[in-house]
A and B are shown apart, each in its own frame.
Chain A
Amino acid sequence: MRAWITSDAIDPAAVLGLVGAREDGAALLFLGVVRDHNDGRAVIGIRYEAYVEMAERVLAEIAAEAAERLATDRLAVVHRIGELAVGEASVAIAVSSPHRAEAFDACRHVIEEIKARLPVWKEERYAGEPSRWLEGVVPPVTGGQP
């Protein structure tokens, strides 16, 4: 199992190469990619910012939860930060398992939980107008004293 944050371009084949075993009949690669429009605006890129030390811990936690669903540890997830252009991958998730159902389920868990609680923010860039921070979701409390 691998989970990390990077400032470098994501190599999807390398991420997929981290999973897989002779007993696996399903190998899945999900990419989250910067698209050229949002909310009726033409997007030219996104700057991703993270609370890196916390994001690495939370991403590892999410990966561990997904591995439990998967019942194997063959899962890799990376989230990129910094300036990304349209078409570049911000997230890659690779999963493999003996059968497809668990692989899809684990992959879905990882991307949904990234969106719900990973301390990462997006500043969207537009042609000819100021960039803006995108509205996000309030992360659930997972620790601390009541």
Chain B
Amino acid sequence: MRIRLLFFASYRDLAGGEELELHAEPGATAGAVVDALRRRGGGLGRLPAAPAVAVNRVHSPLSTLLHEGDELALLPPVAGG
């Protein structure tokens, strides 16, 4: 299944871009996708093991099951205001 990945702020600096499309096994969780990204090494390898994530624009746990076409955003600790 296709997953659309988004990176922001310091995580975008690590990923070297804002957006990435990735193929994941059906039934993969958000956490499994993060693990797979980290295994690619380089800047992605320096992502934290358990970052905050949003699935389809909702703050969600890493145990969230992903589906075809989902948008998974990796969110550094937020600093609005």
Instruction: List chain A positions with a Cβ less than 8 A from chain B.
Output: 32, 48-51, 53-55, 57, 79, 90-91, 111, 114-123, 133-146
Tell me what chain A mostly uses at the interface: helix, strand, loop, or mixed.
Answer: mixed
Q: Which chain B residues in 49-66 approach chain A with CB under 8 Å?
A: 52, 54-55, 57-61, 63-65
Q: Mark B13-27, 1 if CB is under 8 A from A, else 0.
A: 100000000000000
- Identify whether the interface residues of B are mostly helix, strand, loop, or mixed: mixed
B76 interfacial contact with A, CB 8 Å: yes
For residues 1 through 34 of chain B, which have their beta carbon under 8 Å from a beta carbon of chain A?
A: 6, 8-10, 13, 30
Report yes or no: B57 in contact with A120, Cβ–Cβ below 8 A: no
Number of A-B contacts (CB under 8 A): 103
New A-B pairs, 17, CB < 8 Å, besides A122-B79, A135-B79, A145-B64: A51-B6, A51-B8, A54-B73, A90-B81, A119-B73, A119-B78, A120-B78, A121-B78, A121-B79, A136-B77, A140-B59, A141-B60, A144-B30, A144-B55, A144-B58, A144-B64, A146-B63
